[in-house]
Structure 1
Protein backbone atom coordinates (compact mmCIF):
# COMPACT_ATOMS: atom_id res chain seq x y z
CA UNK A 1 0.00 0.00 0.00
CA UNK A 2 1.26 3.45 -0.90
CA UNK A 3 0.51 6.15 1.65
CA UNK A 4 0.64 9.93 1.76
CA UNK A 5 3.18 10.86 4.40
CA UNK A 6 2.47 13.84 6.63
CA UNK A 7 5.80 15.56 7.13
CA UNK A 8 6.34 17.17 10.51
CA UNK A 9 7.53 20.74 10.93
CA UNK A 10 10.40 22.05 12.99
CA UNK A 11 8.98 24.89 15.12
CA UNK A 12 9.76 28.26 13.56
CA UNK A 13 11.19 26.77 10.35
CA UNK A 14 9.89 26.23 6.83
CA UNK A 15 11.95 23.10 6.38
CA UNK A 16 12.25 19.95 8.43
CA UNK A 17 15.13 17.65 9.36
CA UNK A 18 14.86 14.08 10.63
CA UNK A 19 17.47 11.51 11.63
CA UNK A 20 16.57 7.88 12.23
CA UNK A 21 18.60 4.88 13.29
CA UNK A 22 17.20 1.61 11.99
CA UNK A 23 17.92 -2.09 11.74
CA UNK A 24 17.23 -2.37 8.05
CA UNK A 25 15.14 0.01 5.96
CA UNK A 26 11.53 -1.21 5.50
CA UNK A 27 9.73 -1.15 2.15
CA UNK A 28 7.10 1.56 2.56
CA UNK A 29 5.73 3.23 -0.58
CA UNK A 30 4.92 6.82 0.32
CA UNK A 31 4.72 10.31 -1.14
CA UNK A 32 4.34 13.90 0.07
CA UNK A 33 4.20 17.42 -1.43
CA UNK A 34 7.69 18.37 -0.21
CA UNK A 35 11.08 17.73 -1.80
CA UNK A 36 13.00 15.07 0.12
CA UNK A 37 16.79 14.90 0.30
CA UNK A 38 17.84 11.60 1.90
CA UNK A 39 21.29 10.43 3.00
CA UNK A 40 21.36 6.71 3.85
CA UNK A 41 24.42 5.44 5.67
CA UNK A 42 25.53 1.90 6.46
CA UNK A 43 22.93 -0.02 4.46
CA UNK A 44 22.78 -1.98 1.23
CA UNK A 45 19.58 -2.55 -0.67
CA UNK A 46 17.26 -1.22 -3.35
CA UNK A 47 16.06 2.32 -3.98
CA UNK A 48 12.68 2.94 -5.61
CA UNK A 49 11.80 6.37 -7.01
CA UNK A 50 8.75 6.07 -9.24
CA UNK A 51 9.46 3.27 -11.68
CA UNK A 52 13.23 3.73 -11.31
CA UNK A 53 14.67 0.87 -9.27
CA UNK A 54 18.38 0.59 -8.52
CA UNK A 55 20.77 -0.76 -5.94
CA UNK A 56 22.25 1.55 -3.35
CA UNK A 57 25.41 1.01 -1.37
CA UNK A 58 26.73 1.93 2.06
CA UNK A 59 26.41 5.64 1.30
CA UNK A 60 23.48 6.90 -0.76
CA UNK A 61 22.28 10.44 -1.41
CA UNK A 62 19.14 11.11 -3.44
CA UNK A 63 16.67 13.93 -4.02
CA UNK A 64 13.00 12.98 -4.49
CA UNK A 65 10.62 15.45 -6.13
CA UNK A 66 7.21 16.41 -4.68
CA UNK A 67 4.36 13.90 -4.89
CA UNK A 68 6.70 11.22 -6.23
CA UNK A 69 6.18 7.70 -4.90
CA UNK A 70 9.40 6.38 -3.38
CA UNK A 71 11.01 4.15 -0.78
CA UNK A 72 14.31 2.53 0.19
CA UNK A 73 14.52 -1.15 1.14
CA UNK A 74 17.30 -2.96 3.00
CA UNK A 75 17.29 -5.98 5.27
CA UNK A 76 18.97 -5.64 8.67
CA UNK A 77 21.53 -8.28 7.72
CA UNK A 78 22.51 -6.34 4.59
CA UNK A 79 24.79 -3.96 6.49
CA UNK A 80 28.36 -4.83 7.57
CA UNK A 81 28.33 -6.66 10.92
CA UNK A 82 24.57 -5.99 11.03
CA UNK A 83 25.16 -2.52 12.39
CA UNK A 84 22.42 0.06 12.81
CA UNK A 85 21.91 2.22 9.74
CA UNK A 86 21.41 5.99 9.86
CA UNK A 87 18.94 7.77 7.59
CA UNK A 88 19.11 11.58 7.49
CA UNK A 89 16.29 13.38 5.71
CA UNK A 90 15.69 17.04 4.81
CA UNK A 91 12.22 18.09 3.66
CA UNK A 92 11.67 21.48 1.99
CA UNK A 93 9.43 23.22 -0.52
CA UNK A 94 10.19 25.26 -3.60
CA UNK A 95 7.62 27.84 -2.48
CA UNK A 96 9.66 28.56 0.64
CA UNK A 97 12.82 29.14 -1.39
CA UNK A 98 10.96 31.30 -3.90
CA UNK A 99 9.51 33.38 -1.05
CA UNK A 100 13.02 33.94 0.34
CA UNK A 101 14.17 35.09 -3.08
CA UNK A 102 11.32 37.59 -3.37
CA UNK A 103 12.05 38.85 0.14
CA UNK A 104 15.59 39.82 -0.78
CA UNK A 105 17.63 36.67 -1.24
CA UNK A 106 18.43 36.57 -4.98
CA UNK A 107 21.22 34.08 -4.32
CA UNK A 108 18.46 31.43 -4.33
CA UNK A 109 17.82 31.87 -8.05
CA UNK A 110 20.42 29.39 -9.42
CA UNK A 111 19.20 26.65 -7.09
CA UNK A 112 15.56 27.39 -7.95
CA UNK A 113 16.41 27.17 -11.65
CA UNK A 114 18.13 23.84 -11.05
CA UNK A 115 15.11 22.49 -9.14
CA UNK A 116 12.86 23.51 -12.03
CA UNK A 117 14.75 21.07 -14.25
CA UNK A 118 14.57 18.15 -11.83
CA UNK A 119 12.17 15.44 -12.97
CA UNK A 120 11.20 12.62 -10.63
CA UNK A 121 14.43 12.99 -8.68
CA UNK A 122 18.22 12.88 -8.71
CA UNK A 123 20.66 10.21 -7.53
CA UNK A 124 24.03 11.67 -6.61
CA UNK A 125 27.39 9.98 -7.12
CA UNK A 126 29.01 8.14 -4.17
CA UNK A 127 32.05 10.42 -4.17
CA UNK A 128 29.88 13.51 -4.05
CA UNK A 129 27.77 12.01 -1.25
CA UNK A 130 30.95 11.33 0.73
CA UNK A 131 32.01 14.95 0.35
CA UNK A 132 28.77 16.09 2.04
CA UNK A 133 28.89 13.65 4.98
CA UNK A 134 30.78 16.14 7.24
CA UNK A 135 28.15 18.79 6.45
CA UNK A 136 25.32 16.40 7.32
CA UNK A 137 27.13 15.52 10.55
CA UNK A 138 27.29 19.20 11.46
CA UNK A 139 23.68 19.73 10.41
CA UNK A 140 22.65 16.99 12.82
CA UNK A 141 24.28 18.72 15.78
CA UNK A 142 23.88 22.40 14.88
CA UNK A 143 21.07 24.72 15.89
CA UNK A 144 19.84 28.18 14.97
CA UNK A 145 21.30 30.27 12.18
CA UNK A 146 24.33 28.02 11.80
CA UNK A 147 22.10 25.01 11.02
CA UNK A 148 20.33 27.06 8.34
CA UNK A 149 23.68 28.07 6.84
CA UNK A 150 24.64 24.38 6.63
CA UNK A 151 21.39 23.61 4.81
CA UNK A 152 22.12 26.27 2.20
CA UNK A 153 25.67 24.98 1.90
CA UNK A 154 24.18 21.61 0.91
CA UNK A 155 21.73 23.26 -1.51
CA UNK A 156 24.59 25.20 -3.10
CA UNK A 157 26.55 22.00 -3.66
CA UNK A 158 23.82 19.78 -5.15
CA UNK A 159 23.85 21.18 -8.72
CA UNK A 160 27.66 20.79 -8.85
CA UNK A 161 27.70 16.98 -9.00
CA UNK A 162 28.64 16.37 -12.63
CA UNK A 163 28.05 12.62 -12.21
CA UNK A 164 24.56 12.92 -10.74
CA UNK A 165 21.85 10.86 -12.48
CA UNK A 166 18.50 12.46 -13.15
CA UNK A 167 15.40 10.28 -13.00
CA UNK A 168 12.74 10.48 -15.66
CA UNK A 169 10.67 13.37 -16.88
CA UNK A 170 8.69 15.75 -14.77
CA UNK A 171 6.00 13.75 -13.04
CA UNK A 172 6.78 15.31 -9.70
CA UNK A 173 4.14 17.96 -9.84
CA UNK A 174 4.55 21.21 -8.00
CA UNK A 175 0.82 21.81 -8.39
CA UNK A 176 -1.41 22.63 -5.46
CA UNK A 177 -4.76 22.19 -7.24
CA UNK A 178 -6.93 20.17 -4.88
CA UNK A 179 -8.39 18.11 -7.73
CA UNK A 180 -4.88 16.91 -8.65
CA UNK A 181 -4.09 16.12 -5.02
CA UNK A 182 -7.31 14.13 -4.66
CA UNK A 183 -6.64 12.24 -7.89
CA UNK A 184 -3.06 11.41 -6.87
CA UNK A 185 -4.24 10.22 -3.48
CA UNK A 186 -6.83 7.96 -5.08
CA UNK A 187 -4.36 6.55 -7.61
CA UNK A 188 -1.74 5.88 -4.97
CA UNK A 189 -4.27 4.06 -2.78
CA UNK A 190 -6.02 2.05 -5.50
CA UNK A 191 -3.38 1.57 -8.22
CA UNK A 192 -3.58 -2.23 -7.91
CA UNK A 193 -7.29 -2.14 -8.73
CA UNK A 194 -9.07 -1.47 -12.05
CA UNK A 195 -9.42 2.32 -12.41
CA UNK A 196 -11.31 4.25 -15.07
CA UNK A 197 -10.92 7.95 -15.81
CA UNK A 198 -14.56 8.48 -14.91
CA UNK A 199 -14.12 6.91 -11.46
CA UNK A 200 -10.93 8.88 -10.86
CA UNK A 201 -12.57 12.15 -11.93
CA UNK A 202 -15.46 11.51 -9.54
CA UNK A 203 -13.01 10.87 -6.67
CA UNK A 204 -11.25 14.15 -7.54
CA UNK A 205 -14.51 16.15 -7.79
CA UNK A 206 -13.63 16.98 -11.40
CA UNK A 207 -14.75 16.20 -14.92
CA UNK A 208 -12.68 13.68 -16.93
CA UNK A 209 -11.72 16.38 -19.46
CA UNK A 210 -10.59 18.84 -16.78
CA UNK A 211 -8.63 16.17 -14.94
CA UNK A 212 -6.75 15.14 -18.08
CA UNK A 213 -5.84 18.76 -18.73
CA UNK A 214 -4.72 19.34 -15.12
CA UNK A 215 -2.44 16.31 -15.20
CA UNK A 216 -0.80 17.51 -18.40
CA UNK A 217 -0.36 21.07 -17.09
CA UNK A 218 0.58 20.45 -13.47
CA UNK A 219 2.23 17.04 -13.46
CA UNK A 220 3.59 16.81 -16.98
CA UNK A 221 2.27 13.30 -17.55
CA UNK A 222 -1.02 11.64 -18.38
CA UNK A 223 -3.20 9.84 -15.84
CA UNK A 224 -2.33 6.59 -17.57
CA UNK A 225 1.42 7.26 -17.30
CA UNK A 226 1.23 7.96 -13.56
CA UNK A 227 -0.88 4.84 -12.98
CA UNK A 228 1.56 2.75 -15.01
CA UNK A 229 4.49 4.11 -13.03
CA UNK A 230 2.91 3.09 -9.73
CA UNK A 231 2.07 -0.39 -10.99
CA UNK A 232 5.51 -1.00 -12.51
CA UNK A 233 7.25 0.17 -9.34
CA UNK A 234 5.24 -2.32 -7.29
CA UNK A 235 5.95 -5.08 -9.81
CA UNK A 236 9.69 -4.37 -9.58
CA UNK A 237 9.54 -4.72 -5.82
CA UNK A 238 7.75 -8.08 -6.07
CA UNK A 239 10.23 -9.34 -8.67
CA UNK A 240 13.13 -8.48 -6.37
CA UNK A 241 11.73 -9.57 -3.04
CA UNK A 242 9.47 -12.60 -3.74
CA UNK A 243 9.33 -15.89 -5.65
CA UNK A 244 5.87 -15.12 -7.05
CA UNK A 245 5.31 -16.25 -10.65
CA UNK A 246 5.46 -13.32 -13.04
CA UNK A 247 1.83 -13.67 -14.08
CA UNK A 248 0.64 -13.57 -10.48
CA UNK A 249 2.80 -10.61 -9.43
CA UNK A 250 1.65 -8.72 -12.52
CA UNK A 251 -1.95 -9.25 -11.43
CA UNK A 252 -1.13 -8.20 -7.86
CA UNK A 253 0.43 -5.01 -9.26
CA UNK A 254 -2.74 -4.06 -11.12
CA UNK A 255 -2.10 -5.55 -14.58
CA UNK A 256 -5.05 -7.64 -15.72
CA UNK A 257 -3.52 -8.41 -19.12
CA UNK A 258 -0.20 -10.32 -18.88
CA UNK A 259 0.74 -9.37 -22.43
CA UNK A 260 0.27 -5.69 -21.66
CA UNK A 261 2.41 -6.05 -18.52
CA UNK A 262 5.28 -7.66 -20.45
CA UNK A 263 5.12 -4.96 -23.11
CA UNK A 264 5.08 -2.05 -20.65
CA UNK A 265 7.77 -3.60 -18.46
CA UNK A 266 10.13 -4.16 -21.38
CA UNK A 267 9.59 -0.60 -22.63
CA UNK A 268 10.36 0.84 -19.17
CA UNK A 269 13.23 -1.41 -18.05
CA UNK A 270 14.72 -2.54 -21.37
CA UNK A 271 14.45 -6.24 -20.45
CA UNK A 272 11.89 -8.91 -19.61
CA UNK A 273 10.61 -9.37 -16.04
CA UNK A 274 12.45 -12.72 -15.81
CA UNK A 275 15.73 -11.13 -16.86
CA UNK A 276 15.17 -8.26 -14.42
CA UNK A 277 14.66 -10.78 -11.61
CA UNK A 278 17.82 -12.70 -12.55
CA UNK A 279 19.90 -9.52 -12.58
CA UNK A 280 18.50 -7.75 -9.56
CA UNK A 281 16.37 -10.00 -7.46
CA UNK A 282 16.43 -13.23 -5.64
CA UNK A 283 20.06 -14.18 -6.19
CA UNK A 284 21.26 -10.83 -4.81
CA UNK A 285 18.77 -10.91 -1.96
CA UNK A 286 19.96 -14.38 -0.99
CA UNK A 287 23.58 -13.19 -1.10
CA UNK A 288 22.66 -10.38 1.29
CA UNK A 289 21.39 -12.89 3.84
CA UNK A 290 24.67 -14.82 3.93
Structure 2
Protein backbone atom coordinates (compact mmCIF):
# COMPACT_ATOMS: atom_id res chain seq x y z
CA UNK A 1 0.00 0.00 0.00
CA UNK A 2 1.45 3.38 -0.96
CA UNK A 3 1.41 6.42 1.33
CA UNK A 4 -1.88 8.04 0.53
CA UNK A 5 -2.22 11.60 -0.68
CA UNK A 6 -4.31 13.15 2.05
CA UNK A 7 -6.80 15.70 0.71
CA UNK A 8 -8.01 18.16 3.32
CA UNK A 9 -11.39 19.85 3.29
CA UNK A 10 -11.37 23.42 4.56
CA UNK A 11 -14.12 24.38 6.99
CA UNK A 12 -16.54 27.15 6.00
CA UNK A 13 -15.11 30.60 6.56
CA UNK A 14 -11.51 29.39 6.97
CA UNK A 15 -8.39 29.32 4.77
CA UNK A 16 -6.68 26.55 6.76
CA UNK A 17 -7.67 23.47 8.73
CA UNK A 18 -7.28 22.00 12.20
CA UNK A 19 -7.81 18.61 13.79
CA UNK A 20 -8.13 17.75 17.47
CA UNK A 21 -7.42 14.03 17.24
CA UNK A 22 -8.05 11.89 20.34
CA UNK A 23 -7.44 8.15 20.25
CA UNK A 24 -8.02 5.75 23.12
CA UNK A 25 -6.26 2.78 21.52
CA UNK A 26 -3.14 3.94 19.69
CA UNK A 27 -1.82 6.30 17.06
CA UNK A 28 -1.47 3.93 14.07
CA UNK A 29 1.27 4.04 11.45
CA UNK A 30 -0.32 5.79 8.44
CA UNK A 31 2.37 6.75 5.95
CA UNK A 32 1.02 9.73 3.98
CA UNK A 33 1.83 13.11 2.46
CA UNK A 34 -0.11 16.21 1.44
CA UNK A 35 0.58 19.61 -0.16
CA UNK A 36 0.00 21.52 3.07
CA UNK A 37 2.40 22.41 5.87
CA UNK A 38 1.52 20.49 9.02
CA UNK A 39 2.20 21.63 12.58
CA UNK A 40 1.49 18.82 15.08
CA UNK A 41 1.57 18.93 18.87
CA UNK A 42 1.39 15.41 20.35
CA UNK A 43 0.21 15.01 23.95
CA UNK A 44 -0.09 12.13 26.42
CA UNK A 45 1.71 9.84 24.01
CA UNK A 46 5.08 8.18 23.48
CA UNK A 47 6.35 6.34 20.43
CA UNK A 48 8.18 6.88 17.16
CA UNK A 49 7.80 9.52 14.49
CA UNK A 50 8.69 8.95 10.83
CA UNK A 51 9.48 12.06 8.74
CA UNK A 52 10.97 11.31 5.32
CA UNK A 53 14.00 9.16 6.11
CA UNK A 54 14.02 10.24 9.77
CA UNK A 55 12.97 7.90 12.57
CA UNK A 56 12.99 9.28 16.10
CA UNK A 57 11.35 8.89 19.47
CA UNK A 58 8.69 11.32 20.60
CA UNK A 59 7.18 12.01 24.02
CA UNK A 60 4.48 14.15 25.58
CA UNK A 61 4.63 17.70 24.23
CA UNK A 62 6.41 16.83 20.98
CA UNK A 63 5.99 19.69 18.46
CA UNK A 64 6.97 19.21 14.81
CA UNK A 65 6.47 21.21 11.61
CA UNK A 66 6.34 19.13 8.41
CA UNK A 67 6.83 20.69 4.98
CA UNK A 68 4.60 20.15 1.92
CA UNK A 69 4.55 16.65 0.38
CA UNK A 70 7.05 15.26 2.89
CA UNK A 71 5.87 11.72 3.78
CA UNK A 72 5.34 11.27 7.50
CA UNK A 73 3.60 9.31 10.23
CA UNK A 74 3.50 8.91 13.99
CA UNK A 75 3.18 5.50 15.68
CA UNK A 76 2.47 5.34 19.42
CA UNK A 77 3.97 2.85 21.85
CA UNK A 78 2.34 3.96 25.12
CA UNK A 79 0.38 6.69 26.86
CA UNK A 80 1.77 8.93 29.59
CA UNK A 81 -1.51 8.78 31.51
CA UNK A 82 -3.23 5.49 30.71
CA UNK A 83 -6.77 6.68 31.50
CA UNK A 84 -6.56 9.61 29.03
CA UNK A 85 -6.40 9.40 25.21
CA UNK A 86 -3.49 10.00 22.87
CA UNK A 87 -3.91 13.56 21.57
CA UNK A 88 -2.65 15.13 18.35
CA UNK A 89 -3.43 18.81 17.82
CA UNK A 90 -2.87 19.34 14.09
CA UNK A 91 -2.82 22.52 11.99
CA UNK A 92 -2.60 22.45 8.17
CA UNK A 93 -1.98 25.44 5.90
CA UNK A 94 -1.07 25.72 2.21
CA UNK A 95 2.26 27.08 0.90
CA UNK A 96 0.27 29.61 -1.16
CA UNK A 97 -1.27 30.88 2.06
CA UNK A 98 2.13 31.58 3.54
CA UNK A 99 3.85 32.93 0.40
CA UNK A 100 3.29 36.66 1.16
CA UNK A 101 4.58 36.43 4.72
CA UNK A 102 8.19 37.35 4.02
CA UNK A 103 7.68 39.67 1.05
CA UNK A 104 4.57 41.63 2.02
CA UNK A 105 4.68 41.45 5.82
CA UNK A 106 8.32 42.15 6.52
CA UNK A 107 7.72 41.67 10.25
CA UNK A 108 7.18 37.97 9.51
CA UNK A 109 10.36 37.31 7.55
CA UNK A 110 11.58 35.02 10.32
CA UNK A 111 8.39 32.95 9.94
CA UNK A 112 8.95 32.70 6.17
CA UNK A 113 12.53 31.55 6.77
CA UNK A 114 11.33 28.93 9.26
CA UNK A 115 8.79 27.60 6.76
CA UNK A 116 11.54 27.28 4.15
CA UNK A 117 13.59 25.23 6.62
CA UNK A 118 10.57 23.02 7.31
CA UNK A 119 10.88 21.43 3.86
CA UNK A 120 12.68 18.56 5.60
CA UNK A 121 10.74 18.81 8.85
CA UNK A 122 11.56 20.71 12.05
CA UNK A 123 11.41 19.52 15.64
CA UNK A 124 11.10 22.37 18.10
CA UNK A 125 12.96 22.45 21.39
CA UNK A 126 11.25 21.41 24.60
CA UNK A 127 11.22 25.01 25.84
CA UNK A 128 9.67 26.36 22.64
CA UNK A 129 7.09 23.57 22.55
CA UNK A 130 6.14 24.18 26.19
CA UNK A 131 5.73 27.91 25.50
CA UNK A 132 3.58 27.31 22.42
CA UNK A 133 1.44 24.58 23.99
CA UNK A 134 -1.12 26.80 25.80
CA UNK A 135 -1.46 28.99 22.70
CA UNK A 136 -2.12 25.96 20.50
CA UNK A 137 -4.56 24.41 22.96
CA UNK A 138 -6.49 27.69 23.18
CA UNK A 139 -6.48 28.13 19.40
CA UNK A 140 -8.97 25.31 18.81
CA UNK A 141 -11.74 27.08 20.77
CA UNK A 142 -11.43 30.43 18.94
CA UNK A 143 -13.61 31.74 16.08
CA UNK A 144 -11.96 31.64 12.62
CA UNK A 145 -10.64 35.22 12.55
CA UNK A 146 -9.07 35.00 16.02
CA UNK A 147 -7.79 31.50 15.28
CA UNK A 148 -5.80 32.84 12.33
CA UNK A 149 -4.23 35.56 14.46
CA UNK A 150 -3.40 32.97 17.11
CA UNK A 151 -1.73 30.72 14.53
CA UNK A 152 0.45 33.61 13.35
CA UNK A 153 1.33 34.26 16.99
CA UNK A 154 2.35 30.61 17.39
CA UNK A 155 4.43 30.61 14.19
CA UNK A 156 6.15 33.88 15.12
CA UNK A 157 7.03 32.48 18.53
CA UNK A 158 8.39 29.24 17.04
CA UNK A 159 10.45 31.15 14.47
CA UNK A 160 12.53 32.45 17.40
CA UNK A 161 13.49 28.93 18.48
CA UNK A 162 17.22 28.77 17.77
CA UNK A 163 17.31 25.14 18.94
CA UNK A 164 14.81 23.74 16.42
CA UNK A 165 16.44 20.85 14.56
CA UNK A 166 15.84 19.50 11.03
CA UNK A 167 14.66 15.91 10.82
CA UNK A 168 14.89 14.39 7.32
CA UNK A 169 17.62 14.52 4.71
CA UNK A 170 17.34 17.32 2.17
CA UNK A 171 15.06 16.12 -0.59
CA UNK A 172 15.61 16.70 -4.27
CA UNK A 173 12.90 18.63 -6.11
CA UNK A 174 10.04 16.20 -6.49
CA UNK A 175 8.85 15.19 -9.93
CA UNK A 176 5.12 15.83 -9.97
CA UNK A 177 4.27 13.38 -12.74
CA UNK A 178 1.48 11.22 -11.26
CA UNK A 179 2.96 7.94 -12.51
CA UNK A 180 6.36 8.67 -10.97
CA UNK A 181 4.77 9.88 -7.74
CA UNK A 182 2.84 6.64 -7.44
CA UNK A 183 5.93 4.56 -8.09
CA UNK A 184 8.13 6.32 -5.57
CA UNK A 185 5.33 6.27 -3.01
CA UNK A 186 4.93 2.50 -3.35
CA UNK A 187 8.65 1.97 -2.85
CA UNK A 188 8.94 4.40 0.07
CA UNK A 189 5.99 2.79 1.81
CA UNK A 190 7.47 -0.69 1.39
CA UNK A 191 10.90 0.44 2.60
CA UNK A 192 9.45 2.16 5.68
CA UNK A 193 7.31 -0.83 6.60
CA UNK A 194 9.97 -3.48 5.95
CA UNK A 195 13.33 -1.73 6.45
CA UNK A 196 14.41 -4.35 9.01
CA UNK A 197 13.95 -7.15 6.48
CA UNK A 198 16.27 -8.24 3.67
CA UNK A 199 15.46 -5.86 0.81
CA UNK A 200 17.03 -5.92 -2.64
CA UNK A 201 17.14 -3.34 -5.42
CA UNK A 202 15.61 -5.89 -7.81
CA UNK A 203 12.71 -6.54 -5.44
CA UNK A 204 12.04 -2.85 -4.92
CA UNK A 205 12.29 -2.23 -8.66
CA UNK A 206 9.53 -4.81 -9.17
CA UNK A 207 7.30 -2.88 -6.74
CA UNK A 208 7.89 0.28 -8.79
CA UNK A 209 7.41 -1.58 -12.10
CA UNK A 210 10.81 -0.29 -13.23
CA UNK A 211 14.23 -1.68 -14.01
CA UNK A 212 16.78 -1.41 -11.17
CA UNK A 213 18.54 1.42 -13.02
CA UNK A 214 15.20 3.18 -13.59
CA UNK A 215 14.37 2.94 -9.90
CA UNK A 216 17.84 4.24 -9.02
CA UNK A 217 17.32 7.34 -11.19
CA UNK A 218 13.78 7.90 -9.89
CA UNK A 219 14.91 7.57 -6.28
CA UNK A 220 17.77 10.01 -6.76
CA UNK A 221 15.39 12.52 -8.34
CA UNK A 222 12.90 12.34 -5.46
CA UNK A 223 15.16 11.88 -2.42
CA UNK A 224 18.60 13.02 -3.48
CA UNK A 225 20.16 9.69 -2.48
CA UNK A 226 20.36 6.06 -3.53
CA UNK A 227 17.81 3.44 -2.50
CA UNK A 228 20.29 1.61 -0.30
CA UNK A 229 21.61 4.83 1.18
CA UNK A 230 18.06 5.78 2.17
CA UNK A 231 17.53 2.31 3.63
CA UNK A 232 20.70 2.58 5.71
CA UNK A 233 19.57 5.95 7.09
CA UNK A 234 16.23 4.44 8.12
CA UNK A 235 17.89 1.52 9.88
CA UNK A 236 20.38 3.69 11.75
CA UNK A 237 17.60 6.14 12.65
CA UNK A 238 15.56 3.31 14.12
CA UNK A 239 18.63 2.09 16.01
CA UNK A 240 19.14 5.56 17.49
CA UNK A 241 15.58 5.57 18.81
CA UNK A 242 16.10 2.15 20.40
CA UNK A 243 19.50 3.05 21.85
CA UNK A 244 18.22 6.25 23.41
CA UNK A 245 15.01 4.78 24.74
CA UNK A 246 16.00 1.53 26.43
CA UNK A 247 18.65 -0.84 27.68
CA UNK A 248 18.47 -3.69 25.17
CA UNK A 249 21.84 -5.12 24.14
CA UNK A 250 23.37 -3.47 21.09
CA UNK A 251 23.59 -6.79 19.24
CA UNK A 252 19.85 -7.28 19.72
CA UNK A 253 19.14 -3.77 18.41
CA UNK A 254 21.34 -4.39 15.38
CA UNK A 255 19.31 -7.49 14.57
CA UNK A 256 15.99 -5.69 15.12
CA UNK A 257 16.80 -2.98 12.58
CA UNK A 258 18.03 -5.38 9.91
CA UNK A 259 21.74 -6.10 10.42
CA UNK A 260 22.93 -9.72 10.45
CA UNK A 261 26.45 -8.59 11.32
CA UNK A 262 27.19 -6.57 14.45
CA UNK A 263 30.47 -5.42 12.89
CA UNK A 264 28.63 -4.05 9.84
CA UNK A 265 26.09 -2.34 12.09
CA UNK A 266 28.87 -0.69 14.12
CA UNK A 267 30.59 0.41 10.92
CA UNK A 268 27.44 1.88 9.36
CA UNK A 269 26.43 3.56 12.60
CA UNK A 270 29.79 5.28 13.05
CA UNK A 271 29.84 6.36 9.39
CA UNK A 272 26.49 8.13 9.83
CA UNK A 273 26.66 9.38 13.42
CA UNK A 274 30.39 9.81 13.96
CA UNK A 275 30.38 7.64 17.11
CA UNK A 276 29.86 3.98 17.89
CA UNK A 277 26.43 2.75 19.08
CA UNK A 278 27.82 2.37 22.60
CA UNK A 279 29.21 5.92 22.58
CA UNK A 280 25.91 7.23 21.22
CA UNK A 281 23.99 5.60 24.05
CA UNK A 282 26.42 6.99 26.64
CA UNK A 283 26.32 10.47 25.11
CA UNK A 284 22.53 10.45 24.99
CA UNK A 285 22.36 9.54 28.67
CA UNK A 286 24.83 12.28 29.59
CA UNK A 287 22.83 14.84 27.56
CA UNK A 288 19.66 13.75 29.31
User: Does residue 268 of structure 2 align to residue 269 of structure 1?
Assistant: no
In the TM superposition, what is the alpha-carbon distance from 1:85 to its structure 2 partner?
Answer: 6.0
The residue that corresponds to 2:33 in the other structure is: 33
Please report the TM-score for the alignment, with normalisation by the length of structure 2: 0.71
Q: 2:237 aligns with which of 233, 236, 242?
A: 233
CA distance in 1, matches of 2:216, 2:249: 34
The residue that corresponds to 1:204 in the other structure is: 208
What do you get for the CA RMSD once the two structures are aligned? Answer: 4.1
Gapped regions of structure 1 (runs ≥ 5): 285-290
CA distance in 1, matches of 2:228, 2:187: 12
8 Å CA contact retained: 1:120, 1:167? yes
Question: 1:103-139 CA deviation, whole Å, 9 max, x = no partner?
Answer: xx95599555543333532122333323323431232
Question: 1:207-242 CA deviation, whole Å, 9 max, x = no partner?
Answer: 333332333333223222221122223333444566
The residue that corresponds to 1:63 in the other structure is: 65
8 Å CA contact retained: 1:3, 1:30? no
CA distance in 2, matches of 1:253, 1:218: 24
Question: 1:10-60 CA deviation, whole Å, 9 max, x = no partner?
Answer: 44467542224467976x55532134322234567776654464675x533
Question: 1:240-261 CA deviation, whole Å, 9 max, x = no partner?
Answer: 5666543343233222333221
In the TM superposition, what is the alpha-carbon distance from 1:61 to its structure 2 partner?
Answer: 1.9
Are residues 191 and 41 of structure 1, via their aligned partners in 2, closer, same or farther at CA, if it must alter by over 3 Å?
Answer: closer
Equivalent residues in 2 for 1:1-290, closer than 5 Å = 4=3, 7=6, 9-12=8-11, 15-21=16-22, 29-34=29-34, 35-41=37-43, 49=51, 50-51=53-54, 53=56, 56=59, 59-65=61-67, 66-69=69-72, 71=74, 75-76=78-79, 78=80, 86-92=87-93, 96-98=94-96, 101=99, 110=109, 114-118=114-118, 120-171=120-171, 175-176=175-176, 177-178=180-181, 179-239=183-243, 245-277=249-281
CA distance in 2, matches of 1:42, 1:169: 28
CA distance in 1, matches of 2:221, 2:2: 24
Are residues 24 and 161 of structure 1, via their aligned partners in 2, closer, same or farther at CA, if it must alter by over 3 Å?
Answer: farther
8 Å CA contact retained: 1:183, 1:204? yes
8 Å CA contact retained: 1:119, 1:167? no
* Mean CA deviation greater in 152-161 or 5-14: 5-14
Gapped regions of structure 2 (runs ≥ 5): none
In the TM superposition, what is the alpha-carbon distance from 1:141 to its structure 2 partner?
Answer: 0.9
CA distance in 1, matches of 2:63, 2:260: 36
